[in-house]
Amino acid sequence: MAEVLLFHHVQGLTPGVIALADRWRAAGHAVLTPDLFGGATFPTVDDGMAFMRGDDHPDFDSLADAAAAGMPDGVVYAGISFGVLQAQRLAQTRPGAGGAVLMESCLPVTGEWAIGPWPDGVPVQVHGMDADPIFAGEGDLDAARELVASADDGELFLYPGGMHLFEDESLPTFDAAATDLLTERVLALLARI
């Protein structure tokens, strides 16, 4: 059984994020879903981005650090889009990470926005749609290729399509077939941690 800390996307901790966590729980894994938005959810990505960039937004790093503080060594950090910012940061900077699952976003491991190199021995999966204008069109796919190439155990999985937040069944962008395949691949990673 793996312990997973799954960070939600920019529309908040939606029922679809909970449903994804439940899929992983059904396979026997302990999955925590911290709510970095304090219960707020947003109908669109743009609304969520406005909240995230607003002057009165919470300190997301502090909230994520608090959620990770009680986690044991070997925890797998996972994030969806906006949540990747926290999952990747924690996997790269908090000692004892067991792995990472980065969905629909990826930070570079070199250059201006880089946190630093990927830690030795920490497996990572990156998932995204090949024609997603955010993931494929804004540089995340390039960052994912660089990260996976630098990791001891890195995998990049591309799914056909142009939807963002495809794994959230509560949103109109949901893709059931892609989510089933993503779940199968994530569970394979969790089974070997």
Residue 51 backbone phi and psi in degrees, to 5? -65, -45
Q: Using DSSP, state whether 40 is helix, strand or coil.
A: coil
Q: Which residues are bridge partners to 18 per DSSP?
A: none
44: exposed, middle or buried (Cβ count in 10 Å: 0-12, 13-18, 19+): exposed
pLDDT of residue 57: 81
Backbone angles phi, psi at 163, to 5 degrees: -90, 145
* pTM for this prediction: 0.96
Q: How confident is the model at residue 180 (pLDDT cuts 50, 70, 90)?
A: very high
How far the first Cα of the chain sits from its last, in Å, is 8
Give the residue, 112 or 11, on which the prediction is more confident. Answer: 11
Q: Is the pLDDT of residue 186 over 90?
A: yes
Q: What fold is seen in the domain 3-191?
A: Rossmann fold (3.40.50)
The Cα 80–Cα 103 span in angstroms is 5
3-state helix, strand, coil in the chain (%, to 5): 35, 15, 45
Q: Are 103 and 78 in contact (CB under 8 A)?
A: yes
Per-residue pLDDT at 52: 85
DSSP 71: P
Q: Which of 67, 66, 85, 88 is nearest to 77 (CA)?
A: 88
Predicted confidence at residue 134, as pLDDT, reads: 96
Contact 85, 48 (CB under 8 A): no
What is the pLDDT, as a whole number, of residue 70? 85
Query: pLDDT digit string (tens) for 100-124?
Result: 999 999 999 988 778 889 999 999 9
Q: What per-residue confidence (pLDDT) applies to 61?
A: 92
Please state the domain extents for the chain: 3-191
**Structure confidence at residue 95 as a pLDDT band (50, 70, 90):** very high
Give tens-digit pLDDT for 121-179.
999 999 999 999 999 999 999 999 999 999 999 999 999 999 999 999 999 999 999 99
The model's pLDDT over 50-90, given as tens digits with 9 standing for 90+, comes to 998 888 888 999 999 999 998 999 999 999 999 999 999 99
DSSP symbol at 138: S
